[in-house]
């Protein structure tokens, strides 16, 4: 009966029911509520606001669309008079006397709850107009004494949000004659602090943030509150759950942070709910229709694995004739790698521009130039920035970023095993790095989504339209105080453009460029400590982990184990490094390099310590050999100590073979570094006790055998070409 009457005769229902409910007020109907905001531009913040309003089915009226904004600076103000002018004009056309107007900013506002709660709280305030409150007075401190005293709650008025009945708000703005750049906050404050007007219009403040939360001056009071598939903000000081959250003044980053969650953008129950909105799918396009991307590649310091970087660049899944490259290289050392890439593959790309070290251009200038290449190119759709130390393992990265359809978006990359990444979740007061509460969860993938953040670097995609409309300043990377990346992000933020980082996919990692020595031929060989994952990918045989897992270790002779360990590249680099060093021993018994100075069974060789490789070699033995030793000889534990580890060269006219001998080791590792039949003929190893030979050594494969007593062995003659092996006498 109640339901029936409330649906059909709401008016009667109110009359009849009011006396029955003991004076409890009739609920204000949601249809009476109109949200009014001013947005001269469709900023990223505006779209975020609309999404939250739509989520709760608010009816929103947007004023000033397409109008030029004259109300002052986005970040600073005072200003905002234009908002009052637009509101006044709009209200004049509205006639419905019991209409309720919620007037709020939108670029830096998110709504956390629906009209029902909003109206209920408005009603409970028992005034005709309720303003948001602030703990800080602004813009005129001299008005402080005129504000009514409050026992609890904020004392000062904030003009970024208020709610009230149409007639009262009309009356309030009726006298507005100010300039667009005058302060709206001052205008409303003067009305509020005038006791007569305050009473006549019936204005109060939402001092305890039940309706409105202004973040300025209240950052420590506000935390996220996750509850059953939705997210709100809680004011800890007043224990309230405000409906409107406003990142007023210098709190844009905090509203961006909260907006990553509120009202349901990301929840524990659903994960990200907005990450698949407004995608720009490429799948339907022919390759020739793909967006044109200007790609800037920046080499600004000595970096390991540059050759691998270019190998990966070739494998990036994107039509090369839709890419224009700008390669900026500051390091003479890397010229051969860049030149080799350009000579062999440059013509695959639609266009290539190269800036070498001789041009002495600084990094900021190069980045400005690269961005401008896209900005000025009417065909350019995106600018993709990629620093040389980025290891983009995901070949679809560029496509994924384009499909995400955001103004600025970076793929999250991290340094292996560290919390270091290419984004910041927050900024410190002086603009440097600060850790957001969710930073670790994002980096470690416990929260997956597309995150609005204040800083991205190393690799990111920017829409050309943003460069052409908003980021028109040529010198985005220049600053007197900030480093170029920080200056760039600062400039983007100050335009109100959102930067995102996505961890929706695994994209890759970032190299450490510390301690990179360039005194060798193949310097990457020395990266086992600094960049162990990249070292492994480059230098360890692709089937190594497989044999560890599936016990595919062969036993060609009793207690002799045979398994793949080095990649082809590792073998080649080690040989080339030794030949480059060139100081092969004479193969005589007298050997000043070893303790005692006498070698019983000499070979023509170079010791690992002669090329300063012994620490790296030890690490290699520990990481990649010791696990196999312990698996195949159970109960024996090795610390992989060695006195002798060396590369041997066998040549028919030099030293073709080695007479039978024991090794000064508990066990020996013997890795074939080149290919029988291709690089040499003959060779191999024979264990005399078992009359067992390995005649066809495989490149990159290691033989592991006991050193003494049982495994008396000889090196079989190399009959043509040159044979190389890497030998270690482990645990002598
Ligand atoms: C908004 O309206 C739609 C359709 O009218 C409805 O399905 C949805 O539940 C409403 N959402 C809320 C939060 O009321
Ligand atoms: C404001 O209006 C309410 C009714 O909505 C009334 O109870 C209250 O006394 C008024 N306050 C002032 C200061 O006029
Ligand atoms: C506001 O705009 C007027 C012209 O419209 C200008 O004369 C005045 O200097 C501006 N004031 C401020 C504070 O920018
Ligand atoms: C690794 O093992 C697979 C399967 O046995 C084989 O096809 C492949 O050639 C091996 N890789 C190398 C580099 O030997
Ligand atoms: C050793 O093995 C080879 C073939 O593998 C065989 O010809 C030879 O007779 C064997 N020698 C001994 C002493 O068993």
Is 523-730 the same fold as 287-510?
no
8 Cα–ligand 2 center, Å: 31
Instruction: Supply the residues annotated as catalytic.
Output: 723
| Cross-strand partners of 299 | 329
Mean pLDDT of 23-50: 89
Strand-pair category, 658-661 with 713-715: antiparallel
| Cross-strand partners of 460 | 385
Q: Which two tokens stand for residue 225?
A: 């509150």
Percentage of the chain exceeding pLDDT 70? 95
In short, whether 56's Cβ falls inside 6 Å of ligand 1 is yes
Domain boundaries, the chain: 25-266, 287-510, 523-730
Residue 12, pLDDT > 70, answer no
Residue 6, pLDDT > 60, answer no
Mean pLDDT of 111-139: 96
Residue 124, pLDDT > 60, answer yes
Question: Could you tell which of 537, 542, 572 is best to mutate to test the pocket of ligand 4, judged by most ligand atoms within 8 Å of the CB?
Answer: 542
691 Cα–ligand 5 center, Å: 6
Mean pLDDT of 430-439: 93
Q: What angle do CA 219, 222, 225 make, to 5 degrees?
A: 150
**What is the distance between the alpha carbons of residues 321 and 336, in angstroms, rounded to a whole number?**
24
Residue 360, phi-psi category: left (phi > 0), alpha (psi -120 to 50), beta (remainder) = left
Rg (CA), the chain: 36
Residue 15, pLDDT > 70, answer no
Q: Which two tokens stand for residue 462?
A: 């920017």
38 Cα–ligand 3 center, Å: 20
In short, whether 165's Cβ falls inside 6 Å of ligand 2 is no
Q: How far out from the chain centre does Cα 274 lie?
A: 18
Mean pLDDT of 572-584: 97
Percentage of the chain exceeding pLDDT 90? 86
pLDDT at 326: 98
DSSP 8-state symbol, 291: P
> CB neighbours of 502 closer than 8 A, spacing ≥ 6?
275, 400, 401, 404, 409, 410, 411, 412, 449, 450, 451
Report helix, strand or coil for 725. Answer: strand
Taking each helix axis as running N to C, give the angle between helix 532-539 and helix 568-581, from 0 to 180 degrees, rounded to the nearest 10.
100
Q: What angle do CA 89, 193, 242 make, to 5 degrees?
A: 75
Mean pLDDT of 47-67: 95
| Cross-strand partners of 272 | 266
- Superfamily of 287-510 according to CATH: Spore Coat Polysaccharide Biosynthesis Protein SpsA; Chain A (3.90.550.10)
Task: Give the model confidence (pLDDT) of 173-228 as tens digits.
Answer: 999 999 999 999 999 999 999 999 999 999 999 999 999 999 999 999 999 999 98
Give the model's confidence band at 651: pLDDT under 50 very low, under 70 low, under 90 confident, else very high.
very high
Residue 73, pLDDT > 70, answer no
Residue 610, pLDDT > 50, answer yes
**What is the distance between the alpha carbons of residues 262 and 226, in angstroms, rounded to a whole number?**
9
Q: At CB < 8 A and 24+ separation, what contacts does 675-681 make?
A: 675/699, 676/723, 679/721, 679/722, 679/723, 680/650, 680/718, 680/719, 680/720, 680/721, 680/722, 680/723, 681/718, 681/719, 681/720, 681/721
Report helix, strand or coil for 279. Answer: coil
Task: Give the model confidence (pLDDT) of 488-516 as tens digits.
Answer: 999 999 999 999 999 999 999 999 999 89
CATH architecture of the domain formed by 523-730 = Sandwich (2.60)
Closest residue CA from atom 8 of ligand 2:
127
Among the ranges given (301-310, 361-370, 425-434), the one the predictor scored with the smallest mean pLDDT: 425-434
Q: Comparing C-alpha atoms, which of 220, 249, 60 is closest to residue 139?
A: 249
Instruction: For residue 198, give the ligand 2 atom closest to its CA.
Output: 13
Closest residue CA from atom 1 of ligand 4:
543
Report helix, strand or coil for 351. Answer: strand
Residue 77, pLDDT > 60, answer no
Mean pLDDT of 164-178: 96
Give the model's confidence band at 547: pLDDT under 50 very low, under 70 low, under 90 confident, else very high.
confident
Place of tokens 């469709």: 42
Among the ranges given (249-253, 386-390, 501-505), the one the predictor scored with the smallest mean pLDDT: 249-253
Query: Which CATH number applies to 25-266: 3.90.320.10, 3.40.50.12280, 3.40.50.20, 3.90.550.10?
Result: 3.90.550.10
Task: Give the model confidence (pLDDT) of 461-495 as tens digits.
Answer: 999 999 999 999 999 999 988 999 999 999 999 99
152 Cα–ligand 2 center, Å: 20
Mean pLDDT of 688-708: 94
Residue 352, pLDDT > 80, answer yes
Residue 1, pLDDT > 50, answer no
CB-CB contact of 681 with 723 (8 Å) = no
276 Cα–ligand 1 center, Å: 20
| Cross-strand partners of 62 | 37
Strand order in the sheet with 60-63: 60-63, 33-38, 100-104, 156-165, 129-134, 203-206
**What is the distance between the alpha carbons of residues 334 and 301, in angstroms, rounded to a whole number?**
9
Report helix, strand or coil for 87. Answer: helix
Please give the mean pLDDT across all residues of the chain: 93
pLDDT at 595: 85
**What is the distance between the alpha carbons of residues 410 and 458, in angstroms, rounded to a whole number?**
8
| Ligand of minimum distance to the alpha carbon of 541 | 4
Mean pLDDT of 636-661: 93
In short, whether 543's Cβ falls inside 6 Å of ligand 3 is no
In short, whether 114's Cβ falls inside 6 Å of ligand 1 is yes
Strand-pair category, 60-63 with 33-38: parallel
Residue 642, pLDDT > 80, answer yes
pLDDT at 25: 61
In short, whether 641's Cβ falls inside 6 Å of ligand 3 is no
Instruction: Please tell me which residue, 179 or 2, carries the higher pLDDT value.
Output: 179
Question: Could you tell which of 126, 192, 198, 199 is best to mutate to test the pocket of ligand 2, judged by most ligand atoms within 8 Å of the CB?
Answer: 126
């Amino acid at each position: 009966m109640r339901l029936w009457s409330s649906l059909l005769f709401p008016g009667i229902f109110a009359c009849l029911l009011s006396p029955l409910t003991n004076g409890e007020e009739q609920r204000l109907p949601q249809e009476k509520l109109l949200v009014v905001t001013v947005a001269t531009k469709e900023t990223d913040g505006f779209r975020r606001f609309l999404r939250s309003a739509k989520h709760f089915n608010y009816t929103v009226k947007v004023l000033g669309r397409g109008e030029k904004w004259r109300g002052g600076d986005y970040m600073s103000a005072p200003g905002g008079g234009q908002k009052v002018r637009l509101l006044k004009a709009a209200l004049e056309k509205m006639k419905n006397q019991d209409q309720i107007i919620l007037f709020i900013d939108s670029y830096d506002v998110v709504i956390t709850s629906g009209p029902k709660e909003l109206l209920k709280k408005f009603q409970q305030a028992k005034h005709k107009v309720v303003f948001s409150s602030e703990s800080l007075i602004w813009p005129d401190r001299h008005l402080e004494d005129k504000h009514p005293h409050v026992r609890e709650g904020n004392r000062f008025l904030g003009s970024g949000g208020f709610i009230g009945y149409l007639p009262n708000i009309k009356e309030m703005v009726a006298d507005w004659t100010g300039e667009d750049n005058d302060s709206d906050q001052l205008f409303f404050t003067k009305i509020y602090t005038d006791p007569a007007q305050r009473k006549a219009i019936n204005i109060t403040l939402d001092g305890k943030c039940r309706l409105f939360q202004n973040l300025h001056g209240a950052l420590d009071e506000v935390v996220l509150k996750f509850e059953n598939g939705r997210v709100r903000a809680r004011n800890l000081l007043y224990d309230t759950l405000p409906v409107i959250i406003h990142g007023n003044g210098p709190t844009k980053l905090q509203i961006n942070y909260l907006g990553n969650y509120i009202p349901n953008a990301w929840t524990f129950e659903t994960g990200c709910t907005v990450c698949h909105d407004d995608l720009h799918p490429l799948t339907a396009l022919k390759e020739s229709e793909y967006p044109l991307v200007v790609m800037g590649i920046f080499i600004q310091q000595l970096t390991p694995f540059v050759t691998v970087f270019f190998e990966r660049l070739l494998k990036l899944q994107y039509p090369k004739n839709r890419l224009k490259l700008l390669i900026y290289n500051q390091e003479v050392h890397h010229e051969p790698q860049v030149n080799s890439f350009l000579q062999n593959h440059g013509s695959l790309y639609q266009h290539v521009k190269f800036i070498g070290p001789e041009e002495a251009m600084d990094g900021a200038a190069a980045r400005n130039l690269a961005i401008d290449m896209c900005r000025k190119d009417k065909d350019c759709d995106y600018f993709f920035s990629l620093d040389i130390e980025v290891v983009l393992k995901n070949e679809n990265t560029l496509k994924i970023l384009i499909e995400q359809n955001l103004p600025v978006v970076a793929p999250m990359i991290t340094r292996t095993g560290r919390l270091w990444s290419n984004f910041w979740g927050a900024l410190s007061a002086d603009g440097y790095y600060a850790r957001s509460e969710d930073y670790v969860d994002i980096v470690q993938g416990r929260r997956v989504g597309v995150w609005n953040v204040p800083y991205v670097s190393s690799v990111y995609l920017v829409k050309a339209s943003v460069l052409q409309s908003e980021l028109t300043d040529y010198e985005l990377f220049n600053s007197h105080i900030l480093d170029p990346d920080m200056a760039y992000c600062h400039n983007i933020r100050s335009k109100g453009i959102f930067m995102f980082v996505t961890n929706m996919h695994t994209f890759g990692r970032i190299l450490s460029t510390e301690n990179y020595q360039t005194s060798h031929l193949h310097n990457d060989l020395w990266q086992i400590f600094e960049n162990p994952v990249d070292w492994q990918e480059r230098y360890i045989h692709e089937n190594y982990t497989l044999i560890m897992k599936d016990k595919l270790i062969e036993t060609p002779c009793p207690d002799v184990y045979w398994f793949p360990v080095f990649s082809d590249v590792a073998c080649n680099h080690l040989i080339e490094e030794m030949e480059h060093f060139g100081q092969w021993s004479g193969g005589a018994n007298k050997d000043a390099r070893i303790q005692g100075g006498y070698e019983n069974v000499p070979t023509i060789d170079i010791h690992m310590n002669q090329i300063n490789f012994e620490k790296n070699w030890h690490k290699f033995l520990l990481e990649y050999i010791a696990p196999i030793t312990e698996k195949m000889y159970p109960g024996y534990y090795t610390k992989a100590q060695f006195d002798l580890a060396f590369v041997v060269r066998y040549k028919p006219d030099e030293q073709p073979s080695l007479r039978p001998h024991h090794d000064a080791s508990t066990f020996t590792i013997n890795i074939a570094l080149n290919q029988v039949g291709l690089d040499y003929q003959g060779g191999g190893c024979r264990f005399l006790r078992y009359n067992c030979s390995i005649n066809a050594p495989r490149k990159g494969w290691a033989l592991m055998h006991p050193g003494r007593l049982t495994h008396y062995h000889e090196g079989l003659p190399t009959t043509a070409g040159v044979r190389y092996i890497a030998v270690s006498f482990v645990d002598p």
